[in-house]
Amino acid sequence: MMYGYWGKILRVNLSTGEIKTEEFGEDFVKKWLGTRGFGIHYLLKEMDPKADPLSKENKMIFSTGALTGTTAPTGGRYMVITKSPLTGYIAIANSGGFFGAELKMAGWDAIIVEGKSDKPVYLRIEDDKVELKDASHVWGKRVGETEKILTEEFGDKHVQIASIGPAGENLVRFAAVMNNGHRAAGRGGVGAVMGSKKLKAIVVRGHKRVEVIDRSKFISVVREKTEILKNDAVAGKGLPSFGTAVLVNIINQNGLYPTMNFRYGQFKYAEEQSGEAMAKKYLKRNKPCYACPIGCGRVNDTETVGETEGPEYESLWALGANLGINDLASIIEANHLCDDYGLDTISTGGTLATAMELYDRGLLTQEDLGDAPPFRWGNTEVIHYYISKLAKREGFGEVLAEGGYRLAEKYGCVDCFMGVKKQELPAYDPRGAEGHGLGYATDNRGGDHIKAYLISPEILGYPYKMDPHDISDDKVKMLILFQDLTAVIDAAGLCVFTTFGLGADDYRDLLNAAFGFNMSTEEWLKIGEKIWNAERLFNLKAGLNPLEEDTLPKRLTDEPMPEGPNKGHVVRLKEMLPRYYALRGWNEDGTIPGEKLKELGLEEYI
């Protein structure tokens, strides 16, 4: 008997309609832990990394983590791993809510989706009973309505649904997979891959209890860690009170709140769209994910949309300051639209910001737009109008649906695009946190903050404060540690926000208690390192050219920050990158040497 997992994977071939069960043992867990680990194993083993991401050759793995479905704090997460149509490299999108835990409780640890269906289908899972069903009646429907219809059809309000909206169906390159209405496996266009397979949704209901090896021991470890989180000033107080949007004022005061496509590092109207302002004006209550003692999720109520969830910090920024927009109610509405159409908010905002920059420079003109609203900084009409247009690929939305990079390229200004590996950057200007900039440049999934959040040490002071402009080896090592540790937390099925209270040893305790293993923190971190390297290996096989693509937009490396506390600073990426490669044990050209792959047990994937 296995603990933590069932040792069962569901393989669904949409081309043939075949549904199979496959099994795995404890060795597989010790090797890959879960989510990203399981996902990269299957992608490296079973698909050509050069395959077209929207073709039937691409595979999609929906995977739970080691502690998903247990009572471990925040143990409810799942990830979607596939090849990204936005970056052409690995996509590893993580989501909370309740879907992941339900999947595990239905007796499944992961689902491998392969092939392509001719007509819209959805996957219905009720414990051991699994079937593909017609989805023509929900094709074209937004996320909220899709969830409503499929829940009614199932006849059980406890059912959990991961689905795509019109954006995924229309292959928008940054479409998300959504669950619980507003929780997103957001980044990298995983929703477009699902759309290309004509898989509208996965609907799941489970009635099983996830077992751990020693229930009473596990409960006591869970209690201990939950107490730490509850008593922590950030996890127990800051996040529940203000949500992640508490960062608006912090990042703005620190002078790295990207404003108008990263032209500036401070936004004049930040205060009006801060977590404090949101709590005062629109907040009804907070809403935690499965087994979460933190509860950063926001339920807001505005006149135009009524009750909705979010926006969290990144979305608030992407659809606000990055476009020069200050009206909080409009931003909340835009966020709601993104969720309902099934769009990644960061890339949506980043793409619109690129359009504004192009318009401002006269490269994109009103002639190109026809009657549609002009892309002027601060024009709130833009967000609502173009979000629906791009989700439906109508009018100029057809161009926007390709993402910021392809838009900038089309209008002859690649430097107008603020992203890495064709993915739009999140809400921190790295000219005010240089280690975080190295994180952007080296992230396996492109412009991204959550796979190694160096804002923690550089700005917030966790686990201890590091100078944001220190670029010594200590900083580079910290980034590597964050990348590896985050891979462990992801693979464990936990939320990265637990890191504000918990350290690497706490995750070790939880994992060991669930499985009855006696592994050291170093051994768990080694799995994180293996995952990071395996994902990198996938990217290299897909054609990554490290020296050209482990990079940042010129604005961040060559144009000094014009004002504020970081005035005069750029990201000294060239000084950090070679040391990063060396400290990772990689070659000077950013490839991974054979000995390193061997050390990590990755020879069989070369």
Q: Give the x-and-dash track for 78-117 against ligand SF4 (CB under 6 A).
A: ------------------x---------------------
| Token pair 């021991």: residue | 217
Using CB distances below 5 to 8 A depending on partner kind, what does residue 254 bind out of another protein, ligand SF4, none?
another protein
What is residue 523's three-state secondary structure?
helix
Instruction: Tell me the closest approach of the beta carbon of residue 455 to ligand SF4, in angstroms.
Output: 16
Which of 115, 140, 144, 295 touches ligand SF4 by CB under 6 A? 295
Q: Which does 553 bind (CB under 5 to 8 A by kind): another protein, ligand SF4, none?
A: none
Q: State the binding partner of 459 from another protein, ligand SF4, none, CB within 5 to 8 A by kind.
A: another protein
Q: Which stretches within 543-604 are classed as H helix?
A: 546-549, 554-558, 573-584, 594-599
Q: Which stretch binds ligand SF4 (CB under 6 A): 5-13, 50-58, 291-299, 596-604?
A: 291-299
Check if the beta carbon of residue 203 is closer than 8 Å to that of residue 188: no
The CA angle 373-375-378, to the nearest 5 degrees, is 105
Burial of 557 (0-12, 13-18, 19+ CB in 10 A): middle
Residue 319 interacts with ligand SF4 (CB under 6 A): yes or no? no
Determine if 292 is a binding residue for ligand SF4 (CB under 6 A). Answer: yes
**Minimum distance from CB of 534 to another protein (Å)?**
24
275 binds, among ligand SF4, another protein, none (CB under 5 to 8 A by kind): another protein
Of the pair 120, 439, the CB lying nearest another protein is at 439
* Cα angle for residues 314, 315, 316 (degrees, 5° grid): 90
User: Helix 504-515 to helix 215-231 angle, to the nearest 10 degrees?
Assistant: 160
Decide which of another protein, ligand SF4, none touches 565; Cβ closer than 5 to 8 Å per partner kind.
another protein
* CA proximity to 451, closest of 487, 418, 427: 487
**Shortest Å distance, C-beta 565 to another protein:** 3
Distance CA 47, CA 44 (A): 6
Question: What is the distance between the alpha carbons of residues 335 and 220, in angstroms, rounded to a whole number?
Answer: 39
- The answer to the question of residue 64 lying near ligand SF4 (CB under 6 A) is no
Give the residue with the Cβ less far from another protein, 48 or 467. Answer: 467
Residues 502-521 that bind ligand SF4 (CB under 6 A): none
DSSP three-state, residue 552: coil
Report how far residue 214's alpha carbon sits from residue 236's, in angstroms, rounded to the nearest whole number: 28
CB atoms < 10 A from the CB of 90, how many?
Answer: 27
Strand spans (E) along 240-370: 283-287, 297-302, 306-309
Report how far apart, in Å, the C-alpha atoms of 555 and of each of 199, 243, 325, 572 are. 39, 30, 21, 12
CB of 30 to ligand SF4, least distance (A): 26
For position 462 contacting ligand SF4 by CB under 6 A, the verdict is: no
288 binds, among another protein, ligand SF4, none (CB under 5 to 8 A by kind): ligand SF4
Distance of CA 563 to the CA centre of its chain: 30
Residues that bind another protein (CB under 8 A): 233-235, 237-239, 241-247, 249-250, 253-255, 275-276, 296, 312-314, 449-450, 453, 455-456, 459-462, 465, 467-468, 496-497, 500, 564-566
Q: Which is nearer to ligand SF4, 121 or 346 (CB)?
A: 346
Q: What are phi and psi of 564, to 5 degrees?
A: 80, -170
Which one of ligand SF4, another protein, none interacts with residue 462, CB within 5 to 8 A by kind? another protein
The answer to the question of residue 495 lying near ligand SF4 (CB under 6 A) is yes
The continuous run of DSSP H or E covering 13 comes out as strand 8-13
Q: Which does 237 bind (CB under 5 to 8 A by kind): ligand SF4, another protein, none?
A: another protein
Total number of residues shown for the chain:
606
- Give which of ligand SF4, another protein, none residue 93 binds (C-beta under 5 to 8 Å, depending on kind): none
Q: In angstroms, what is the minimal distance from the CB of 103 to ligand SF4?
A: 16
> Would you say 343 and 167 are in contact if contact means Cβ atoms under 8 Å apart?
yes
Tell me which of 33, 178, 221, 289 binds ligand SF4, using CB under 6 A: 289
* CA angle in degrees (0–180, nearest 5) for 120-124-125: 155
Establish if 493 lies at the interface with ligand SF4 (CB under 6 A): no
Extract the tokens encoding 117.
Answer: 């269906």
In the complex with another protein, the residue whose CB is nearer, 394 or 563, is 563
Minimum separation from the CB atom of position 23 to ligand SF4 (A): 29
- Rounded to 10°, the helix 143-154/328-341 angle is 50
Of the two residues 122 and 500, which places its CB atom closer to ligand SF4 in the complex?
500
CB of 397 to ligand SF4, least distance (A): 30
Q: How far is the CB of 242 from ligand SF4 (least distance, A)?
A: 12
SS3 137: coil
Q: How far is the CB of 96 from ligand SF4 (least distance, A)?
A: 4
CA–CA distance, 231 with 228 (Å, rounded to integer): 5
Distance, in Å, from the CA atom of 575 to the CA atom of 70, rounded to the nearest integer, reads 44
Cα separation, 165 vs 146, in Å, equals 8
Q: Which residues have a Cβ under 8 Å from the Cβ of 220 and sit 6 or more positions away?
A: none
Q: Please give the structure tokens belonging to residue 183.
A: 């929780």
Alpha carbon distances (Å) from 164 to 34, 142, 336, 418, 443: 23, 8, 15, 26, 25
288 forms part of the interface with ligand SF4 (CB under 6 A): yes
How far is it, in rounded angstroms, from Cα 49 to Cα 475? Answer: 32
Choice between 297 and 419, CB closer to ligand SF4: 297
Binding of ligand SF4 at residue 176 (CB under 6 A)? no
The smaller minimum CB distance to ligand SF4, of residues 133 and 230, is found at: 230
Starting at the edge strand found earlier in the chain, the sheet holding 306-309 runs: 283-287, 297-302, 306-309
Rounded to a whole number of angstroms, the minimum distance from the CB of residue 180 to ligand SF4 is 10
Nearer to ligand SF4, 375 or 497 (CB): 497
Q: Which of 171, 294, 343, 492 binds ligand SF4 (CB under 6 A)?
A: 294
342 near ligand SF4, rule: CB under 6 A: no
The least distance separating another protein from the CB of residue 317, rounded to whole angstroms, comes to: 11
**Which range of residues in 127-135, 294-302, 353-361, 412-420 is near ligand SF4 by CB under 6 A?**
294-302
Reference 127, options 80, 79, 159, 157; nearest CA is 159
Q: How far is the CB of 220 from another protein (least distance, A)?
A: 27
Q: Which residues of the chain form contacts with ligand SF4 (CB under 6 A)?
A: 74, 96, 288-289, 292, 294-297, 495, 497
